[in-house]
Amino acid sequence: MKATDRFYEAVKVIWEQYYNHPFIKGMGDGSLDISKFRYFMLQDYLYLFEYARVFAFGVTKADDPEIMRVFSKSIDAILNNEMSIHKAYMARIGIKESDVLNVKPALNNTSYTSYMLAVSERGNVEAITAAILACSWSYAEIGRRLAEDKKAAEHKFFGEWIKGYAGEAFQSSNSMLKELMDRLTQNSSEEEYKKLETIFVNCSKYELEFWNMAWAGEPENA
């Protein structure tokens, strides 16, 4: 069994909670409160800066030029493609990029990124890839599933988000990371598999908490 197949089996129950989450279902049927989406976009924008730093660890720790290129391409995709979705929404909502930098990261946000950065600082390329993959892969699945409903994909507000993550560019970037994970673990021991699986599961749990945070919305005392 490939590493990605094994990891998916380990998180299926967690990921089902994403697909049935009121925030994600609200994007799908168009009922999500825009204020909740606004808070999510602000927090996710801050998250992406730290997420890109995790990939940067991969560039510095890889000793194979091809692997370095995978991480480098992913950084470019985050900063220039994924963030463009956020910037487009911020323009629609009336948020300037300079305003985002004054937003305080939520505790769940900081906890998640701190965990990934700690894994990346202490771990090897395999560990870094496992930490990265939970976010990328789950968003690819969420986008793909939501886009199966044409009304959701064409929604006048949420459709752009859905099509962005269901689109070829993001799906291709995620497939590249999955292939890298399987390549890196071809000769891994059972002990190594378990360590990587734990990282993947932990990051999947953090993803669920991020969705819960987004659904709860911005705290009144923030």
Alpha carbon distance 155, 9 (integer Å) = 32
Residue 222 has pLDDT above 60, yes or no: no
Residue 14 has pLDDT above 90, yes or no: yes
DSSP letter for 20, please.
T
* pLDDT computed for residue 99 by the predictor: 78
192 burial type by CB count under 10 A (0-12 exposed, 13-18 middle, 19+ buried): middle
pLDDT in tens, 88-123: 898 898 888 777 878 899 999 999 999 999 999 999
Is the pLDDT higher at 88 or at 215?
215
Q: What is the mean pLDDT of the chain?
A: 94
Residues with active-site annotation: 135, 207
Structural domain spans, the chain: 3-216
pLDDT in tens, 126-166: 999 999 999 999 999 999 999 999 999 999 999 999 999 99
Alpha carbon distance 18, 64 (integer Å) = 35
pTM for the model:
0.95
Within a 10 A sphere around the Cβ of 187, how many other Cβ atoms? 6
Q: Are 115 and 202 in contact (CB under 8 A)?
A: yes
pLDDT in tens, 23-71: 999 999 999 999 999 999 999 999 999 999 999 999 999 999 999 999 9
DSSP letter for 154, please.
T
- Provide the CATH number for the domain formed by 3-216 in this structure: 1.20.910.10
